Amino acid sequence: MRIEVIQEFLVFARHLNFSKAAAELHITQPNLSKHMMELEREVGVELIDRRTHGKNRPVLSEAGKYLAEEMAYIETSYLNTLKRCRAIGRSSVRDVRVQEIWQNNAMVKLYSIAGAYQSSHLESSIRYVRLSERQPVDALMRNDFDMVFDVWCGPYEQRCEQLAERGVRAIALQTEQPYIWYQDGNRHLEGKGKVLLEDLLDIPVVMTRGDTFDYMVVSYAAFCEREGLMPRLRHIQPRDNSPTGMFMSDFHDGVLMTSPAMVQDPRLRSRPDLKYREVADERVAVTFLLAVRADDRGSMEFLDYVRKHK
């Protein structure tokens, strides 16, 4: 199936008129009609209902409508691929290295926005990289990343001011309440209704040693330190080096703090003893700040795009 024939079919699908489509394509009407019949033979079904020809304009069959919808995406992808290849050949594509975080609604939102950005900014390539330490802003300042997530518990305006003093610009991409996961029979949660900050301070919050899956816990611990509070933190060794490995570990009367997105993870359904609750206290709402260096013009352009389309 040649891309030229697909493009001809899409032009015809837009006009539903052989003469107008042939004129736009700068080919003869008989040649266009021939190519459409060859396409139908290749697909194996009727794409154009010609029985109305002479009375009304021809129409697409149901299969033709489906093919036109799907091939429109393919044509766009084909053209964008050609443009990007040419840009790579001219060494004019800029790699934007973005810190990727485990299952999170902020990351899902960024994936969507970045996809649209790349479609209209073919000179940029968004590349996602996992962080291997707990301090993403430090990695940003070392130029290991072009864009990172700074996860902040509590009001974030002051944090943006702090980052600005370091030459970093940040925007709030997503704010949400943290969730806690716990095992059935957790004595700290028996008979409790809403879980508030005061309740959370009395419960051991589980975290790993040196891994990067604890961004919610780290932000919570930093919040407590700023407020002069004493959280109860308990380190455990997960069964494997992944967020799910954390959940598959036994944490008894402790709780795991994580994002709402993990609630949707089907792998966790295999633990019938696991339950979850939202921490229903606005004081510990967690904001995912996207941060870039203010002197990085390319990343600043992407950040401005995210701000306008979030």
pLDDT given at position 157: 93
Q: How far is CA 154 from the centre of its chain?
A: 23
Query: Higher model confidence: residue 267 or residue 184?
Result: 184
pLDDT of residue 285 exceeding 90: yes
Domain boundary among 39, 56, 89: 89
pLDDT of residue 247 exceeding 70: no
pLDDT given at position 227: 95
CA contacts within 13 A on the Cβ side of 210: 2
Torsion of CA 175, 181, 185, 190, to 10 degrees: -10
14-21: average pLDDT: 89
Is there a single domain that holds both residue 143 and residue 189? no
For 287-298, how does the pLDDT look when each residue is reduced to its tens digit (9 = 90+)? Answer: 999 999 999 988
Is there a single domain that holds both residue 169 and residue 187? no
pLDDT of residue 212 exceeding 80: no
Is there a single domain that holds both residue 274 and residue 292? no
Residue ranges making up the domain that contains 301: 94-175+287-309
Name the residue among 108, 195, 147 with its Cα closest to residue 303: 147
Confidence of residue 103 (pLDDT cuts 50, 70, 90): confident
109-113: average pLDDT: 94
9-30: average pLDDT: 90
The Cα–Cα gap between 172 and 287 comes to 6
The answer to whether the CB of 42 falls within 8 A of the CB of 1 is yes
Q: Is the torsion defined by CA of 112, 256, 186, 268 positive or negative?
A: positive
Give, in degrees to the nearest 5, the angle at Cα 234 between 230 and 238: 150
pLDDT of residue 102 exceeding 90: no
Is there a single domain that holds both residue 183 and residue 280? yes
Confidence of residue 93 (pLDDT cuts 50, 70, 90): low
pLDDT of residue 55 exceeding 80: no
For 192-206, how does the pLDDT look when each residue is reduced to its tens digit (9 = 90+)? Answer: 889 999 999 999 998
Is there a single domain that holds both residue 276 and residue 184? yes
The Cα–Cα gap between 113 and 26 comes to 37
The Cα–Cα gap between 198 and 44 comes to 68
Is there a single domain that holds both residue 118 and residue 185? no
**Across-strand partners of 251?**
none
Is there a single domain that holds both residue 84 and residue 101? no
The Cα–Cα gap between 231 and 222 comes to 10
120-137: average pLDDT: 83
Domain count, the chain: 3
pLDDT of residue 74 exceeding 90: no
Q: CB within 8 A of 74, min separation 6: which ones?
A: 6
Is there a single domain that holds both residue 15 and residue 142? no
Is there a single domain that holds both residue 123 and residue 152? yes
CATH number at residue 195: 3.40.190.10
Is there a single domain that holds both residue 135 and residue 278? no
pLDDT given at position 87: 63
CATH number at residue 61: 1.10.10.10
Is there a single domain that holds both residue 99 and residue 241? no
Is there a single domain that holds both residue 183 and residue 171? no
pLDDT of residue 190 exceeding 90: no
pLDDT given at position 125: 82
For 139-153, how does the pLDDT look when each residue is reduced to its tens digit (9 = 90+)? Answer: 999 999 999 999 999
Domain boundary among 89, 114, 143: 89
73-92: average pLDDT: 73
Domain boundary among 29, 64, 89: 89
The average confidence (pLDDT) of the chain is 86
